[in-house]
Amino acid sequence: MTNSSRRKRKEQLENVLYTLPAIILVTVMMYIPFLMSGYYSLTQWNGIAKDPQFIGLANFISIFSGKSNFLNSLGFTVRYTIGFVIFSNVLALALAVALVKKFKLANVYRGMFFIPYIMSMTIVGFIWKFIFTQGFAKLYELVGAEALNWSWLGDPKLAFYSVISVGVWQGLGFYIVLYIAGLQAIPKDVLEAATVDGATASQKFFRVTLPLLGPSMTTCIFMSLTNGLKVFDIILALTKGGPGTATYSTTMQIYQEAFTNNNYGLGSAQAIIYFLVVLIITQVVLKVMSRKEVDL
Amino acid sequence: MGMKKKQQSQKIILIAVLTLIAVVYIYPVFLMFMNSFKPFGEIVMDPIAWPKAPTFENITYVVKKIKYGKLFLNNVLITVIGIAGIVIFSSLAAYILDRRRTKYTAFVHTLIITPMLIPFQTIMITLLKAMNVIHLDNSRVGLGIQYWGFGIPMATFIFFNFMKTIPKEIDESAHIDGASTMRTFISVIFPLLKSVTVTVIVLDVMWIWNDFLLPLLMVNSSDKTKTLVLASYTFVGQMNTKWQFAMASMSLTVLPSIIIFIFLQKYIVEGVVAGAVKG
């Protein structure tokens, strides 16, 4: 055997050895459960009986005939995500514009907005459950504003906004730091040139800053989109999907179907549809946004 | 002169408004800490005021009841195991995937990073069964190992993108000096990955330390294997919540994160930004 072919063999062996742990781990934790979900979605199984019963597409048919709450939960998840993306990005951008200015303690302020982001979402949900139920009642006593006396977690419509608000509150710091990084990357001379040309502050923001923020905005919108579609912990802690099924997210629906109703087969079918919906939405948004960015 | 004065006063107004917003924004966190020092009656009567006579009773009760020290160590153990595996296996894979561009590595690259598209809830039902078969459930070490599988796709993606920016001449010269592939990785490449390793560590510590659903599914059945977040969950009931203990337990869970954040704010924020931009 020649020297170079021996070296090639050795390199090939190394290629396999160095990547093998990652391949095995990803296969065991993700691909195998994923394929199992695909199989169980075609079965009826309560998790206790030894053998799942093969029932073909019956689970999917029952989901699309609207017998379970799944389609409603999908509707909620989409509405939640739209609200979450809009409020997170608008508020984060507004605060980033203020926080990017140089002043004493600027870092402390940035840190204050970031702290909810380093906290567990479950704990964030509980804190706000406490505020909505106990805190608002006391504030109403003190201030008397009627809105404080509303049932923020008990009324289906209000609960929707409560869940979005808490979600935005928890994640806002993350989007703020991303927008600050984007704002800092804008060359100063471009803004100065606009000032020299007599542009007003709002003209500078909408005509110069905003277009140049394109990449940051793409990142933030995409991240908030995927985070919105995955919402779970906050809802479990805050409303458990209630009142009724008003704030049932799809993730929550899958969880309940499997672990509360013990319908593992139906839950798996919902999980597969959820995967496809998330995949399609994120890929479409990504395509649309990358096209937009080029236009700028 | 007048222009400057106007700008100055505008800035003062801006900072005043910002201060107000920031204080209201962080108040819920403050509220949690404050109520940890109140007896139950006072929390219900006056949830938003400063405690009349601060008491440590809730804290001491919770520390004993949930065995805080032990759960804290559980969190540390799970997080350290998780991070160590993710960093080692992802950086090793990314190193080879970038330096040896063959058909095999191109395929493996796709294989490893594609699971980023699979939401956790899609696999959680069957994961429970799969982990039961290989005995990684109901175990802290097992949970730490599970995080390897979930963390590797994203971490490999981040490491790979950074590897591309390291000039090939660096490891080629090490090779010529007779260093083996592993030697080159350990003493030449890995030190150069420092900044991106910090990014991966920051992102994954925040994720694993605070994670709720995976620990709920895997280690919630025994008090010995629970994590801090799971312990807080036990005090909040559907109907009657023991808010005094819930607040104390939540404060004790959040406090370490906040202390670490105060000291490492710069690195944490930089890591998060880098992770989002690269990821």
pLDDT digits (tens, 9 = 90+) for A95-128: 999 999 888 888 999 999 999 999 999 999 999 9
Q: Is there a single domain that holds both residue A74 and residue A16?
A: no
Q: Does A271 touch chain B (CB under 8 A)?
A: yes
What pLDDT is recorded for position A275? 97
Residue B236: pLDDT above 70? yes
Per-residue pLDDT, averaged over A57-68, amounts to: 90
Residue B1: pLDDT above 60? no
Q: Say what percent of chain B tops pLDDT 70.
A: 97
Closest chain A residue to B252 measured between Cα atoms? Answer: A123
pLDDT digits (tens, 9 = 90+) for B61-99: 999 999 999 999 999 999 999 999 999 999 999 999 999
Q: Which residue out of A50, A109, A126, A264 would a mutagenesis test of the B interface target, given it has the greatest number of B Cβ atoms within 10 Å?
A: A126
A36 vs B130: CB contact, 8 Å cut-off? yes
Report the candidate in B176, B221, B195 with the shortest Cα–Cα distance to residue B274.
B195
User: Residue A1 — very low, low, confident or very high, per pLDDT cuts 50/70/90?
Assistant: low
> What is the nearest CA distance from A112 to chain B, expressed in angstroms?
6
Report the candidate in A133, A138, A164 with the shortest Cα–Cα distance to residue B239.
A133
Answer whether residue A284 is part of any domain: no
Residues 6+ apart with CB under 8 A from A134: B43, B44, B47, B243
Report the DSSP beta bridge partners of residue A54.
Answer: A43
Q: Is there a single domain that holds both residue A236 and residue A167?
A: yes
pLDDT digits (tens, 9 = 90+) for A144-189: 888 888 889 999 999 999 999 999 999 999 999 999 999 999 988 8
Q: Does B61 touch chain A (CB under 8 A)?
A: no
Q: Which residue out of B101, B122, B127 would a mutagenesis test of the A interface target, given it has the greatest number of A Cβ atoms within 10 Å?
A: B122
Question: Is the CATH number 3.30.43.10 carried by domain B67-278?
Answer: no
B162 Cα distance to chain centroid:
21
Answer whether residue A75 is part of any domain: yes
Q: Does B47 touch chain A (CB under 8 A)?
A: yes
How far apart are alpha carbons A91 and B77 in whole angstroms?
A: 37
What pLDDT is recorded for position B28? 96
Report the candidate in A296, A291, A232, A220 with the shortest Cα–Cα distance to residue A259.
A232
Q: Report the C-alpha dihedral over residues A179, A185, A191, A192, rounded to 10 degrees.
A: 140
- Overall number of domains in chain A: 2
Report the candidate in B124, B119, B125, B185 with the shortest Cα–Cα distance to residue B153.
B119
pLDDT digits (tens, 9 = 90+) for B188-225: 999 999 999 999 999 999 999 999 999 999 999 888 99
Residue ranges of domains in chain B: 2-59, 67-278
Answer whether residue A162 is part of any domain: yes
Answer whether residue A265 is part of any domain: no
Q: What's this model's pTM, rounded to 2 decimal places?
A: 0.93
Nearest to A29 among B104, B150, B229 (CB): B150
Q: Is there a single domain that holds both residue A125 and residue A17?
A: no
What part of A 186-245 touches B (C-beta under 8 Å)? Answer: 219, 223, 229-230, 232-233, 236-237, 240
Residue A296: pLDDT above 50? no
Torsions phi, psi of B9, nearest 5? -70, -30
A114 vs B265: CB contact, 8 Å cut-off? yes
CATH number, residue A132:
1.10.3720.10
B54 Cα distance to chain centroid:
32
pLDDT digits (tens, 9 = 90+) for B27-71: 999 999 999 999 999 998 889 889 999 999 999 999 999 999 999
B104 contacts on A by Cβ (under 8 Å): 12, 15-16
Closest chain A residue to B104 measured between Cα atoms? Answer: A15
Per-residue pLDDT, averaged over B114-132, amounts to: 94
Residue A272: pLDDT above 90? yes
Convert B253-263 to b/e letters by CB count within 10 Å (16 or more is b): bbeebeeebee
B46 contacts on A by Cβ (under 8 Å): 138
